Amino acid sequence: MIGGGMDAFIGAVHRLALNMDGQVELVAGALSVNPEMALASGRQLFLEEDRIYTDYKTMLEKEAAMPADKRIDFVTIVTPNFVHFDPAMMALDKGFNVVIEKPITFSLEEAKRLKAKLEETGLSLLLCHTYNGYPMVKQARRMLQQGVLGKIRKVYVEYPQGWLSTFLEKTGQTQAAWRTDPKKSGKAGSMGDIGTHAFNLAEYVTGLKVTSLCSNVNIVVEGRMLDDDGAAFLKFDNGATGVLMATQIAAGEENNVKIRVYGEKGGLEWKHEDTNTLLVKWLDKPTEIYRAGTGYLDSFASHNCRTPAGHPEGFLEAFANLYRNFVLTVRAKINGETPKPEWLDFPGVEEGIRGMAFIENIIESGQSDTKWTPFTV
């Protein structure tokens, strides 16, 4: 693991998720840019002393020199956006598969270079768009793939948060500070942090691609350097239209992600407040309620259910589903086997490139007087 020490948030989430199936062991780490914090964090996690590193370059060099049966199989990168690209490229160069937090890189150009390196090495990459890991999100995707609603006409996706309703970065709060700093976060604030989740969810569930957008991106809290609020009209490659909203100044909201998709015959709805439920609404009959853990789900959904019906599965389980599918795929490739389609169902470099293109296009559109901006990758 690179980053994710005691002073971080998302590193602990990754460790809980990767431990859930007993298929991954954390054996090495460069867990902080602060050497003392890196050492203390490694010791707290009971890593062997000679595999606690104070910088990622040393870690990757030394791990690559170890015998194949001892060195790491993959590296998880849980650093701020500006420290994604270099360690990912170096890890691939050293022969290590990569798990990386979103957005995948600091810029679209970096994402394209990372894709080229991935293709060159033949290794695997997992991009942590957590919401893809929920069983009922996968159920929705499969139902739309099978055409149960007919041609898709309308997509609504939203991600409201309220945690940046005040000038929190001024207080020294670490998470707020780097996410609102263009030198560490990139071109976008809320659109990079959570807008990319909403965008990815819209494309993943529908299987469609955005072809153009018209956005309004705002800085609401005075003194903030990056956007904390925004929305966009979307056009998709099948002629459908959509609306995307992502904001971090919706006071009182937590992480209430929600998607609605409407086709010729009906619509479906999934929301993060009730992750085990998928609503399917029909034009000519009552609404159907699909529930996680039940026997009538598609194999892609049931593969990612962990408990019997009625037992809530949440954020950690969704995260763990991403890790499990990635690990099953990596192990199959190492053994010269073909991964099952259900295992390959995790976000990777292509989704990373689309996410970086979303950031660049939505900021460009928000700064433009032109009504529609073509979605370029």
pLDDT digits (tens, 9 = 90+) for 142-164: 999 999 999 999 999 999 999 99
CA 215/CA 364 separation, integer angstroms? 9
Whether 354 has a pLDDT exceeding 90, the answer reads yes
Identify whether the C-beta of residue 53 lies closer than 8 Å to the C-beta of residue 61. no
Residue/partner pairs of 69-75 with CB below 8 Å, 24 or more apart:
72/27, 72/28, 72/96, 73/97, 73/330, 73/334, 74/98, 74/99, 74/124, 74/326, 74/330, 75/1, 75/2, 75/99
Q: Using CB atoms within 10 Å of the CB of residue 17, give its burial: 0 to 12 exposed, 13 to 18 middle, 19+ buried.
A: buried
For residues 245-270, give the mean pLDDT.
97
Instruction: Please identify which residue in the block is written with the tokens 């679209």.
Output: 108
Cα distances from 162 to residues 93, 193, 259, 333, in angstroms, run: 40, 13, 19, 42
What would the pLDDT profile of 271-330 be if each residue is shown by its tens digit? 999 999 999 999 999 999 999 999 999 999 999 999 999 999 999 999 999 999 999 999
Q: Backbone phi, then psi, for 112, in 5-degree steps?
A: -65, -40
Q: Phi-psi region for residue 136, left (φ > 0), alpha (ψ -120 to 50) or beta?
A: alpha
* Percent of all residues in the chain with a pLDDT value above 90, rounded to a whole number: 99
Q: Rounded mean pLDDT of the chain?
A: 97
CA 260/CA 103 separation, integer angstroms? 23
What would the pLDDT profile of 186-222 be if each residue is shown by its tens digit? 999 999 999 999 999 999 999 999 999 999 999 999 9
Q: Tell me, what's the pLDDT at 17?
A: 97
For residues 227-250, give the mean pLDDT.
98
Whether 7 has a pLDDT exceeding 90, the answer reads no
CATH architecture of the domain formed by 10-123: 3-Layer(aba) Sandwich (3.40)
CATH architecture of the domain formed by 132-311+349-366: 2-Layer Sandwich (3.30)
Domain ranges of the chain: 10-123, 132-311+349-366
What would the pLDDT profile of 46-63 be if each residue is shown by its tens digit? 999 999 999 999 999 999
Confidence band, pLDDT 50/70/90 cuts, at residue 131: very high
